[in-house]
Chains A and B, each alone.
Chain A
């Protein structure tokens, strides 16, 4: 049981480049989330999904897109990376909103 895994662990991008972060969970959870964590800012929700084929915007969605084509996977895309998107990105999943969210190990992204 791997729990929540994230790929890649580290990435450096140049401004304007695109990339996709992959999150996978093997717990059959309905809900999945993408957060970004910046020093002194806590965890801020980017997008979330309440089931396969659904997505919704969180607190800071601008500059990001997501897809949930399969229940176990939640993809976060950056179409044109900006230095302001330098952050640590965490994926999480849960059975539903009031249950424990299980977090992945994070992806450290640097945009130069």
Chain B
């Protein structure tokens, strides 16, 4: 049973546009929400993360918005660039293990 639901499955954005990826969860015990970025042929790498006591976290062009009451969080990529083309995974921590969403394949066109 997928504990973290991620959408959309794929996304195409023009260069300079905003990419938005959404995730939802049910387990209120989750207490840490990271986003990982994966390029083809590589392992995932941490992009940005948030704790549930914060509603927003920004690092450069990447922002996480967190809505605790709705049990939803999202990744916004501002001024999207072709180099951002990758697969993005949201995740949520319960105990010792991260529960990953199924991933979003982002393509940023020139």
**Which A residues form the contact surface with B (CB < 8 A)?**
4, 31, 33, 40-45, 48, 50, 56, 58-59, 90, 92, 97-98, 100-101, 103-106
Contacts and interface: CB of A to CB of B under 8 A. Distances in A.
A103 B100 contact: no
Contacts of A104: 43
B54 interface: no
Which 8 pairs between the two chains have the least Cβ-Cβ distance?
A103-B43, A42-B102, A43-B100, A100-B46, A42-B100, A97-B96, A98-B32, A103-B44
Interface residues of B, number: 24
A100 B96 CA distance: 13
A90 B97 contact: no
Given A40-B9, A45-B98, A101-B98, A92 B43 contact: yes
B interface majority secondary structure:
loop
Contacts of A42: 2, 6, 89, 100-103
B98 A41 contact: no
26 contacts: A4-B43, A31-B96, A40-B9, A40-B103, A43-B44, A43-B89, A48-B96, A48-B97, A59-B97, A59-B99, A90-B43, A92-B43, A97-B95, A97-B96, A97-B97, A98-B32, A98-B93, A100-B46, A100-B49, A101-B98, A103-B43, A103-B44, A105-B41, A105-B42, A105-B43, A106-B41
Interface of B: 2, 6, 9, 31-32, 34, 41-46, 49, 89, 93, 95-103
A41 B6 CA distance: 11
